[in-house]
């Protein structure tokens, strides 16, 4: 479930929906399995790109159990930051904050999280979860 963020065509990912589509594609690349009952059949959920189990009705968003869960900034912004960090790991959070006009602390937190799960090839395993929830 790795997304090659360093090589992403970031310009085409300017909407929340486009980002969600990519996340959902990767997350369920090998199919959907309900985390509650193990059923593999689903229908569309209430939010864009979410999936709902047809048996127990449990709904899972595209971002649940991924590094985008509880992401405080918009997904296109997060994608741009990931793109920059993957291409230039030495970039500082101050530089990111200036380029994105986002608070430095927010950039710092996101960058730290990314550095833990980015591979040498600039790919990020989106199913990685740094927090034990
Ligand atoms: Zn289920």
In this prediction, residues 69-93 reach a mean pLDDT of 92
In this prediction, residues 54-73 reach a mean pLDDT of 93
**Domain limits of the chain?**
2-29+66-125
CA of 56 to the centre of ligand 1 (A): 4
User: What are the tokens at 113?
Assistant: 């999280």
Q: What is the pLDDT of residues 10-59, one digit of tens each?
A: 999 999 999 999 999 999 999 999 999 999 999 999 999 999 999 999 99
| Separation of alpha carbons 133 and 130, rounded Å | 9
With H, G, I as helix, E, B as strand and everything else as coil, classify residue 82: helix
Element (H, E) at 93: helix 93-100
CA of 50 to the centre of ligand 1 (A): 14
Element (H, E) at 2: strand 2-3
| Chain position carrying tokens 């594609």 | 25
Is the pLDDT at 120 greater than 70, yes or no? yes
CA of 3 to the centre of ligand 1 (A): 27
CA of 64 to the centre of ligand 1 (A): 15
Task: Give Cα separations from 50 to 7, 42, 69, 79 (angstroms).
Answer: 26, 10, 13, 19
pTM for the complete prediction? Answer: 0.88
What is the pLDDT, as a whole number, of residue 71? 84
Looking at the DSSP bridge assignments, the partners of residue 51 are: 44, 60
């Amino acid at each position: 479930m790795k997304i090659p963020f360093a090589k992403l065509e970031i310009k085409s990912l300017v909407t929340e929906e486009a980002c969600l589509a990519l996340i959902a594609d990767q997350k369920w690349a090998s199919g959907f399995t309900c985390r509650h009952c193990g059923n593999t059949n689903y229908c569309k959920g209430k939010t864009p790109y979410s999936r709902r189990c047809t048996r127990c009705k449990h709904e899972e968003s595209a971002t649940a159990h991924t590094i985008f869960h509880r992401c405080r900034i918009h997904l296109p912004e997060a994608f741009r930051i990931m793109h920059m960090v993957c291409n230039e790991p030495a970039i500082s959070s101050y530089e990111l904050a200036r380029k994105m006009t986002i608070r430095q602390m927010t950039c710092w937190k996101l960058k730290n999280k990314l550095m833990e799960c980015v591979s040498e090839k600039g790919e990020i395993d989106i199913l990685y979860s740094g927090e034990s929830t």
